[in-house]
């Protein structure tokens, strides 16, 4: 669960990126965050991830109060999140299997657990047959599915996808959205930041729209009157 209560963020430069933002994404929900470039979407992701602190307001992420969170607790809070990026961010010199396994090795997961979870995650994203390939032997859509498997493998409570289809053609983009929907239906909360209006409209999910650091609409079913 993510809750923002009257959150404002002013960067040192003086730019006010968020202005009194409040919203809650409940456990099990899938929501889109949309808005023009510079509206504050990345700032929201950085705040959730604990990369930056709000100037005022309160942020709760999966039971952690980020306002009072100790620095040493940030890694534990982050383990409740799986993050997916537009540019996939795979390790180019590791196989698909090792890219996913690496996410478990860095947190010291037992070998037996890794041997169970990695094949499960690869099966979930439909890449069982690609386990021994290198990332550059995969299409963009397949690479993003590896990134999704990696984000999922440690069983986070929430997946945050930052423009996950920004580098993909429309057919692959639909596949990725459907996969995120499937992951949500299996119980993981999902938040997707995207510009893809047609895709968002086709999904009939909650859409939170932000403009100039303020939430301008929040409801189910599409972009509403919002236009870029
Ligand atoms: P979006 O992700 O919707 O494009 P951002 O959250 O990146 O929007 O940016 C919101 C505003 O904050 C913009 O005016 C941007 O220039 C500014 N901004 C973002 N990051 C920083 C930063 N690290 N320092 C100063 N200003 C920033």
Q: Which of 9, 12, 40, 226 to mutate to test the pocket of ligand 1 (most atoms within 8 A of CB)?
A: 40
For 36-52, the pLDDT digits (tens) are: 999 999 999 999 999 99
Give residue 132 CA to ligand 1 midpoint distance, Å.
39
Give residue 6 CA to ligand 1 midpoint distance, Å.
18
Q: What is the pLDDT of residue 176?
A: 95
Indicate whether 89 pLDDT > 60: yes
Q: Which residues pair with 60 in a beta bridge?
A: 3, 65
Q: Is 40 in the pocket of ligand 1 (CB under 6 A)?
A: yes
Continuous segment of H or E residues that includes residue 31: strand 30-34
Indicate whether 174 pLDDT > 60: yes
- Locate 17 and state its tokens: 């990126």
72 Cβ contact list (under 8 Å, min separation 6): none
- Locate 117 and state its tokens: 């979870």
Q: Is 162 in the pocket of ligand 1 (CB under 6 A)?
A: no
Q: Which of 32, 37, 38 to mutate to test the pocket of ligand 1 (most atoms within 8 A of CB)?
A: 38
85: nearest Cα among 141, 166, 142, 11: 166
Q: Which of 9, 17, 160 to mutate to test the pocket of ligand 1 (most atoms within 8 A of CB)?
A: 17
Q: What is the pLDDT of residue 222?
A: 65
For 93-119, the pLDDT digits (tens) are: 999 999 999 999 999 999 999 999 999
Q: What number of residues does the chain have?
A: 228
Indicate whether 140 pLDDT > 90: yes
Between CA 3 and CA 167 the distance in angstroms is 29
- Which residue's structure tokens are 């537009």? 86
Cα distances (angstroms) measured from residue 130 to each of 23, 41, 103, 139: 39, 33, 18, 11
Percent of the chain with pLDDT over 70: 96
Q: What is the pLDDT of residue 197?
A: 83
Q: Is 11 in the pocket of ligand 1 (CB under 6 A)?
A: yes
Nearest CA to ligand 1 atom 15: 38
For 194-223, the pLDDT digits (tens) are: 988 888 988 889 999 999 999 999 998 766
Q: Is 8 in the pocket of ligand 1 (CB under 6 A)?
A: no
């Amino acid at each position: 669960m993510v809750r923002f209560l009257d959150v404002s963020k002013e960067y040192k430069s003086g730019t006010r990126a968020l202005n009194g933002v409040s919203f809650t994404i409940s456990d099990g929900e899938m929501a889109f965050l949309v808005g023009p470039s510079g509206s504050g979407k990345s700032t929201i992701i950085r705040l959730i991830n604990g990369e930056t602190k709000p100037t005022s307001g309160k942020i709760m992420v999966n039971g952690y109060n980020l306002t009072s969170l100790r620095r040493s607790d940030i890694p534990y809070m982050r383990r409740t999140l799986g993050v997916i990026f537009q540019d996939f961010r795979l390790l180019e010199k590791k196989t698909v299997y090792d890219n996913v396994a690496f996410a478990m090795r860095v947190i010291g997961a037992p070998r037996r657990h890794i041997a169970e979870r990695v094949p499960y995650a690869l099966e979930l994203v439909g890449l069982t047959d690609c386990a021994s390939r290198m990332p550059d032997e995969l299409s963009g859509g397949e690479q993003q599915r590896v990134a999704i498997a990696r984000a999922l493998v440690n069983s986070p409570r929430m997946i945050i996808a930052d423009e996950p289809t920004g580098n993909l053609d429309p057919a692959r983009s639909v596949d990725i959205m459907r996969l995120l929907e499937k992951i949500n239906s299996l119980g993981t909360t999902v938040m997707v930041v995207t510009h893809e209006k047609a895709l968002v409209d086709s999904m009939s999910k909650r859409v939170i729209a932000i403009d100039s650091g303020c939430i301008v609409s929040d409801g189910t079913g599409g972009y509403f009157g919002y236009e870029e």
